[in-house]
């Protein structure tokens, strides 16, 4: 019984080690006279069991344990864990932008608006937000879609970004982008099983929120492979292959595109986006555009084009297409992950469906109002002539400049290591290098029920303290192996990380040659 | 087609007026050559359509419109809308507690810790939280279950409250209590339809989050009626009747108890809780104890007993029962709704299931870290001898004292109006009076597809500006009519509200006599 459960878990949590799983699988308490659990692994929601979220999976739990071991004085071949598993900017040393924190602070403690300790533009922003809050307090619930003045600022930001109108009633603030994405995906479910399930096209590799949400709602993941040989572009023929293959299994309803890419770091060209939109129109698909990295574009010649802008500049026959675009305070130059700010813009959503969306989010009451205020600082930053402008631009450019430098550094280093290859990190915060894994290592991994890249990443962690996420957590072409690393650690730590990598990789090859 | 849709919507949204529905139901855009919507009211997730959340339903939308009409100079028989529809303390004039805001502000802007503008205990609390955050920033993601030091403070709080051990690994911080409740309910789903669906016992009247979540997951609501004639107590025979009636329809798995009660304001006696626990044991039910109003107990002789404490003080045969208890920063004396702080304590959760819960919440990344800090101030308030203690206690007692006064005032006034009767508001923030509605009004309501109490509340709103929620949004015994009002408005406004009520009710009776 115990063995059966263990192996079934192992087959699902494929980036975990058997050792970890043994710790997680407990004995079922069915001894007489104690009753069985009312809620057990065997009778709980099977869709939750199917869910995976590798970015915070077993390897990250192990990293936390190693940190505790180090803190308790245990000797390791390294001094600290370098966490490159998650796009968590502040955790890896980035300092918050002054203006952002000033505005949220003034919102939380309006007494400070009366002092002379804060610049007038920050005070004015905060007062404006407070005036839009019930009882002028961020402690009041906002409308479920968010504080109206912030929704209006978001619409203005989009309008300026794209050069096309945006309407604040199409803006829904959310608890990070994840919450917005889940709210839209939820609407797309058919409520039916088997071949009547909703099919959602997702890139492979993908950000695991998508597969997790698809699993939770018992929908069908329609996987399309990004073209690694072509800088992780979306190949339209591959989209066609993918949807044709899935039609017998589900009702395809939507396509998810992540641009700039996570975990792959590519920035889509305008032509590529046009092709995707044409495909979505032909196939009657709702487009979910995950555009949370819209400020994170580094490579020369790369530029962010929003799906909405591209769509608006295509022919009249595209103008009624349905699209949702997602944004967050967690990424970009701000990296304010912990504030859980985000928004969704819905375009051409059927008014009846929009009413249902409003109703559906109302049961969650509202996203954190401080998180909403944080979102406001991103869409309504200081402008030239305002007292905070210079510092804001300096801090913003500093963060983005360092990220660009690190994107280059990571790409070049990985490509200089024999057996590793890495597409140019054009944007976002990640590299997704491909790693050749020797046959003997593959065999060892398989015999312990792990994926080979999980074996690789676990050994990397144990030997060097570097925590990255196995490619299997994001999906990859059969027989290829990758890992995702963020480019976030400070330059000196990133150098340590990369040099650890070089040494580890050589040792790994020798061990399994 | 339009008519059919309208009437089907009307039958669901039974506390809406026909006028409102016509505004919400749009024409389906199927004219040639424009294509039909990919996502329409007819093909969207049917479970989302079934969801209702009356606290923010059509009557509240109408209240917002009336506010805009008043602002634009339109003449009404009243000067302002009094919102008594939602437990939103700050929106109705309560001022935030100084200590709470100081700690969260220092967390958001650690520079201020260096100044002499804040008391040392607030600084110490903030620094301790920051030390537990990645990169010492509330802008970093926390562990998905929350910042460890805050989880430990929650466990200590529970231990002190109950006199029984609590373990921080059983604490999961959440985005308000709602998010925690949904996370636990999600685990209880069977993933099957029809008679294999999970049944969740809920009180009627209930807080509509429960029916909304049950609808969203396509589970089965096992309604048990609270005993209005007995101060809204839980009658164990009624629980037995309810579960027996539901067995042919579903697999009953859990019972939800809200104590102190929402919308009913009762505080359960210890004996009543013991009876519920015995019932849950006999019937193999998981207990969900919604205890967000644990600080809100007003009536003489009433006392809050946590389910966990009562369970721990029952016989050995109860000690392995599974229980989840929910708490929030939104209610109590703090009323910090907008911060979206909350926690769940799980007791005796199967370790495998707990691992699945951890995995499931990890895809949401983490609750707002500032919201978590806010939760910390509630579980770790200033103690005697600390510089903030006196002010904190004064502010806390002021809020709770006023609520106790208003609870009494509301009960007495409603009971003095002919045709209204109201149980004593022992706790929480609401009264749920019963209202006799004349036959002619019932007939009029039915002919326009509304529930009679919705007709009553809409007319109350249009004539007096008072916004309360029809009882049908919470559930009530067939043939009885109620409404829920909060007791939150300031005393002078509450007096206006109650006097409006008296006049309106008399007019209503005359109109339909």
Indicate which CATH number applies to the domain containing B460: 3.90.1150.10
Residue A357 has pLDDT above 70, yes or no: yes
Query: Is residue A186 located within the same domain as residue A331?
Result: yes
**Percent above pLDDT 70 for chain A:** 93
HEC string of A76-100 equals CCCCCCEECCCCCCHHHCCCCCHHH
Q: Which of A437, A281, A363, A137 has the alpha carbon at shortest distance from B182?
A: A363
Spatial separation of the C-alpha atoms in residues A477 and A215, rounded to whole Å: 20
CB atoms near residue A28 (< 10 Å): 17
Query: Is residue A246 located within the same domain as residue A333?
Result: yes
For residue B512, the distance in angstroms to the closest alpha carbon of chain A comes to 33
Query: Is residue A429 located within the same domain as residue A318?
Result: no
Please identify which residue in the block is written with the tokens 């954190």.
A368
Domain that holds residue B194: 162-366
- Mutation pick from B139, B175, B216 vs chain A, by most beta carbons of A within 10 Å, is B139
Q: Which residues of B fall within a CB distance of 8 Å from A52?
A: 359
- Phi and psi at residue A50, to the nearest 5°: -70, -30
Cβ atoms of residues B288 and B324 within 8 Å: yes
Cα B345-B371-B380 angle, rounded to 5 deg: 65
Spatial separation of the C-alpha atoms in residues B181 and B174, rounded to whole Å: 9
Spatial separation of the C-alpha atoms in residues A2 and A24, rounded to whole Å: 11
Cβ atoms of residues A43 and B190 within 8 Å: yes
* pLDDT tens profile A309-334: 999 999 999 999 999 999 999 999 99
Q: From A322, A351, A380, give the residue that closes a domain.
A: A351
Of B56, B134, B365, the CB nearest to A90: B134
Query: Is residue B284 located within the same domain as residue B407?
Result: no
Strand order in the sheet with B469-470: B430-431, B483-486, B469-470
The mean per-residue pLDDT over the stretch A230-241 comes to: 95
For residue B251, the distance in angstroms to the closest alpha carbon of chain A comes to 11
Query: Is residue B232 located within the same domain as residue B317?
Result: yes
The predicted pLDDT at position A19 comes to 32
Token representation of residue A182: 């889940």
Put simply, the answer to whether B29 touches A320 (Cβ < 8 Å) is: yes
The predicted pLDDT at position A218 comes to 87
Query: Is residue A205 located within the same domain as residue A281?
Result: yes
Cβ atoms of residues A181 and A208 within 8 Å: no
* pLDDT tens profile B161-203: 999 999 999 999 999 999 999 999 999 999 888 999 999 999 9
Query: Is residue A185 located within the same domain as residue A322?
Result: yes
**Residues facing residue A434 across a β-bridge:** A421, A482
Complex ipTM value? 0.90
Cα dihedral across residues A156, A162, A167, A169: positive or negative: negative
The predicted pLDDT at position A35 comes to 55
Put simply, the answer to whether A322 touches B38 (Cβ < 8 Å) is: yes
DSSP state of A9: H
* pLDDT tens profile B338-371: 999 999 999 999 999 999 999 999 888 999 999 9
Strand order in the sheet with A483-486: A430-431, A483-486, A469-470
The predicted pLDDT at position A18 comes to 33
HEC string of A187-213 equals HHCCCCCHHHCEEEEEEECCCCHHHHH
Chain A residue closest in CA terms to B104: A108
Of B47, B322, B362, the CB nearest to A56: B362
Residue A32 has pLDDT above 50, yes or no: no
Residue A143 has pLDDT above 50, yes or no: yes
Chain B residue closest in CA terms to A20: B355
Query: Is residue B87 located within the same domain as residue B227?
Result: no
Cβ atoms of residues A104 and A372 within 8 Å: no
**Residues facing residue B201 across a β-bridge:** B222, B255
Put simply, the answer to whether A140 touches B90 (Cβ < 8 Å) is: yes
Q: Which residues of B fall within a CB distance of 8 Å from A371?
A: 340, 368, 370
The predicted pLDDT at position B35 comes to 56
Query: Is residue B323 located within the same domain as residue B185?
Result: yes
Spatial separation of the C-alpha atoms in residues B126 and B118, rounded to whole Å: 11
A146: left (phi over 0), alpha (psi -120 to 50) or beta: left
Of A140, A322, A353, the CB nearest to B338: A140
**B247 within some domain:** yes
Higher pLDDT, B324 or A31: B324
Cβ atoms of residues A213 and A185 within 8 Å: yes
**Residues facing residue A172 across a β-bridge:** A344
Taking the CA atoms of residue B369, residue B371, residue B373 and residue B376 in that order, the dihedral angle to the nearest 10 degrees is -130
Chain B residue closest in CA terms to A131: B91
Query: Is residue A208 located within the same domain as residue A333?
Result: yes
**Percent above pLDDT 90 for chain A:** 82
**A12 within some domain:** no
Higher pLDDT, B208 or A373: A373
Put simply, the answer to whether A141 touches B86 (Cβ < 8 Å) is: yes
Query: Is residue B335 located within the same domain as residue B283?
Result: yes
Chain B residue closest in CA terms to A61: B143
**B475 within some domain:** yes
**Residues facing residue B421 across a β-bridge:** B434
For residue A438, the distance in angstroms to the closest alpha carbon of chain B comes to 31
Spatial CB neighbours of A136, under 8 Å, sequence gap ≥ 6: A110, A130
Of B45, B101, B102, the CB nearest to A188: B45
| Buried b / exposed e along B323-335 (16+ C-beta atoms within 10 A) | bbbbbbbbbbbbb
**A64 within some domain:** yes
**A137 within some domain:** no
- Mutation pick from A1, A4, A21, A38 vs chain B, by most beta carbons of B within 10 Å, is A38
Provide the domain count of chain A: 2
**A411 within some domain:** yes
Average pLDDT for chain A: 90
Peptide bond into B13 cis (omega under 30): no
The predicted pLDDT at position B9 comes to 36
Query: Is residue A301 located within the same domain as residue A209?
Result: yes
Question: What is the enclosing helix (H) or strand (E) of B82?
Answer: strand B82-83
Q: What is the CATH number of the domain that holds A247?
A: 3.40.640.10
**B389 within some domain:** no
Cβ atoms of residues B360 and B185 within 8 Å: no
Q: Which residues of B fall within a CB distance of 8 Å from A133?
A: 338
**A78 within some domain:** yes
Cβ atoms of residues A352 and A201 within 8 Å: no
Cβ atoms of residues B256 and B210 within 8 Å: yes
The predicted pLDDT at position B19 comes to 32
The mean per-residue pLDDT over the stretch A235-240 comes to: 96
Of B43, B139, B348, the CB nearest to A339: B139
Q: How far apart are the first and last CA of chain A?
A: 37
Q: Kindly give the confidence (pLDDT) of every residue in chain B, 513 residues in length, as a single tens digit, with 9 standing for 90 and above.
A: 333 333 333 333 333 333 333 333 333 344 444 457 999 998 999 888 888 777 677 898 899 999 999 999 999 999 999 999 988 999 998 999 999 999 999 999 999 999 999 999 999 999 999 999 999 999 999 999 999 999 999 999 999 999 999 999 999 999 999 999 999 999 999 988 899 999 999 999 999 899 999 998 889 999 999 999 999 999 999 999 999 999 999 999 999 999 999 999 999 999 999 999 999 999 999 999 999 999 999 999 999 999 999 999 999 999 999 999 999 999 999 999 999 999 999 999 999 999 999 999 988 899 999 999 999 999 999 999 999 999 999 999 999 999 999 999 999 999 999 999 999 999 999 999 999 999 999 999 999 999 999 999 999 999 999 999 999 989 999 999 999 999 999 999 999 999 999 999 999 999 998
Q: From B366, B381, B411, give the residue that closes a domain.
A: B366
Residue A8 has pLDDT above 60, yes or no: no
What is the DSSP annotation of B193-236?
-GGGSEEEEEEES--THHHHHHHHTT-EEEEEE-BGGGTTBPPH
- Mutation pick from A33, A129, A328, A363 vs chain B, by most beta carbons of B within 10 Å, is A363
For residue A138, the distance in angstroms to the closest alpha carbon of chain B comes to 6
* pLDDT tens profile B272-316: 999 999 999 999 999 999 999 999 999 999 999 999 999 999 999
Spatial separation of the C-alpha atoms in residues B172 and B343, rounded to whole Å: 6
Q: Would you give the distance in Å from CA B98 to the centre of its chain?
A: 25
Taking one residue from A and the other from B, the number of pairs with CB-CB distance under 8 angstroms is: 323
Please state, in angstroms and as integers, the Cα–Cα distance from residue B1 to each residue in A292, B7, B14, B273, following that order. Answer: 40, 10, 20, 50
- Phi and psi at residue A342, to the nearest 5°: -175, 165
Token representation of residue A134: 């019930």
Q: Which residues of B fall within a CB distance of 8 Å from A6?
A: none
């Amino acid at each position: 019984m115990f063995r059966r459960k263990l192996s079934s878990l192992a087959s699902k949590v494929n980036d975990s080690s058997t050792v970890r799983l043994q710790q997680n699988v407990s004995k079922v308490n069915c001894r007489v006279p104690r009753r069985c659990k009312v809620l057990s692994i065997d009778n709980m929601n099977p869709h939750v069991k199917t869910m995976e979220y590798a970015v915070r999976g077993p390897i990250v739990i192990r990293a936390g344990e190693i940190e505790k071991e180090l803190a308790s004085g245990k000797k390791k071949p390294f001094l600290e864990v370098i966490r490159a598993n998650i796009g968590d900017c502040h955790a890896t040393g980035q300092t918050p932008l002054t203006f952002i924190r000033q505005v949220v602070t003034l919102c939380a403690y309006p007494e400070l608006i009366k002092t002379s300790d804060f610049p007038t533009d920050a005070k004015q922003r905060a007062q404006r937000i407070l005036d839009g809050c019930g009882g002028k307090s961020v402690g009041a619930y906002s409308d479920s879609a968010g504080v109206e003045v912030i929704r209006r600022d978001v619409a203005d930001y989009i309008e300026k970004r794209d050069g096309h109108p945006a309407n604040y009633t199409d803006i829904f603030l959310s608890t990070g982008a994840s919450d917005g994405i889940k709210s839209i995906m939820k609407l797309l479910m058919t409520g039916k099983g088997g071949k009547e399930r909703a099919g959602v096209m997702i890139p492979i590799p993908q950000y695991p929120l998508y597969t997790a949400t698809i699993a939770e709602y018992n929908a069908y993941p329609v996987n399309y492979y990004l073209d690694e040989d072509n800088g992780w572009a979306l190949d339209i023929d591959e989209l066609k292959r993918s949807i044709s293959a899935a039609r017998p299994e589900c009702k395809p309803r939507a396509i998810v595109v992540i641009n700039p890419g996570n975990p792959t770091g590519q920035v889509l060209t305008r032509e590529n986006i046009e092709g995707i939109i044409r495909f979505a129109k032909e196939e009657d698909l709702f487009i979910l555009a995950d555009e949370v990295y819209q400020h994170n574009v580094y490579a020369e010649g790369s530029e962010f084009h929003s799906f909405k802008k591209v769509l608006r500049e295509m022919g009249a026959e595209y103008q009624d297409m349905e699209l949702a675009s997602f944004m967050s305070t967690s990424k970009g130059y701000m990296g304010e992950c912990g504030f859980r700010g985000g928004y969704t813009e819905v375009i051409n959503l059927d008014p009846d469906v929009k009413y249902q969306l409003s109703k559906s989010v109302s049961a969650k009451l509202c996203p954190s109002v401080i998180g909403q205020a944080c979102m406001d600082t991103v869409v309504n930053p200081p402008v030239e002539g305002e007292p905070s402008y210079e510092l804001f631009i300096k801090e913003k450019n500093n963060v983005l400049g360092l990220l660009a430098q690190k994107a280059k550094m990571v790409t070049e280093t990985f490509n200089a290591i024999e057996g590793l290859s890495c597409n140019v990190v054009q944007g976002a915060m990640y590299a997704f290098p491909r790693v050749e894994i020797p046959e003997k290592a593959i065999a060892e991994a398989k015999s312990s029920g792990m994926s080979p890249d999980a074996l690789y990443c676990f050994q990397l962690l144990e030997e060097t303290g570097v925590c990255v996420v196995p490619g299997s957590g994001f999906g990859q072409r059969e027989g290829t192996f990758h890992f995702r690393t963020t480019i976030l650690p400070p330059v000196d730590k990133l150098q340590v990380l990369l040099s650890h990598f070089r040494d580890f990789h050589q040792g790994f090859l020798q061990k399994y040659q």
